[in-house]
Copies of this chain bind each other. A is one copy, B any other.
Amino acid sequence: MCESCDIQFGERGDKAQLEEGPLFAPKFDKDGLITAIAQDHATGKVLMVAYMNDVSLKKSIACGEAVYFSRSRQKLWHKGEESGNVQKIKAIYTDCDQDALVIEVEQVGNAACHVGYNSCFYRKVDGTTDGKVALTTTETQKVFDPAKVYGKK
């Protein structure tokens, strides 16, 4: 994994500095994480929501590929490192108080979701079923069959 030792963030200053200043001073929450939204740079589709810690964000900047911090596994997660289906970073945006990121990516393999779809957001709220809020699938087909891909492990 690429080196990121030279990367330094700014100090978190006052509101004016955070909102209008020239330095990137990301806010990590009490668990040391910042929300990162991966968005397809070409289609604008939101692909997934994940989290980065200080190290994974620096590695993402240094590598030019998305490196997250997996909350379930409690370790760095260089997405697609094994399969080759990495997310090549085109741009990183931060919001007004610098506690969230939008990562514009090229999703190699065209599927960001482990379920096999292009985006994790493959369902929308649509009507009710037996009085409960229902979902409909908006992607017409999966990009890959997860049983074939993950079943081999």
Interface residue ranges, A against B (CB under 8 Å): 7-10, 19-24, 35, 37, 39, 43-46, 48-49, 61, 91-96, 100, 102, 113-115, 120-125, 129, 131-135, 138
Contacts and interface: CB of A to CB of B under 8 A. Distances in A.
Contact of A37 (B22, B49, B115): B49
Contacts of A20: 115
Nearest to A125: B92
B102 A24 contact: no
Given A132-B10, A133-B23, A92 B48 contact: no
A96 B115 contact: yes
Given A39-B46, A133-B61, A134-B23, A123 B94 contact: yes
A37 to B, nearest CB: 6
10 contacts: A19-B115, A24-B125, A24-B134, A49-B100, A91-B125, A93-B123, A93-B125, A94-B124, A94-B125, A102-B121
A120 B132 contact: no
Contacts of A19: 115
A3 to B, nearest CB: 15
A63 to B, nearest CB: 13
Given A35-B49, A121-B102, A114 B133 contact: no
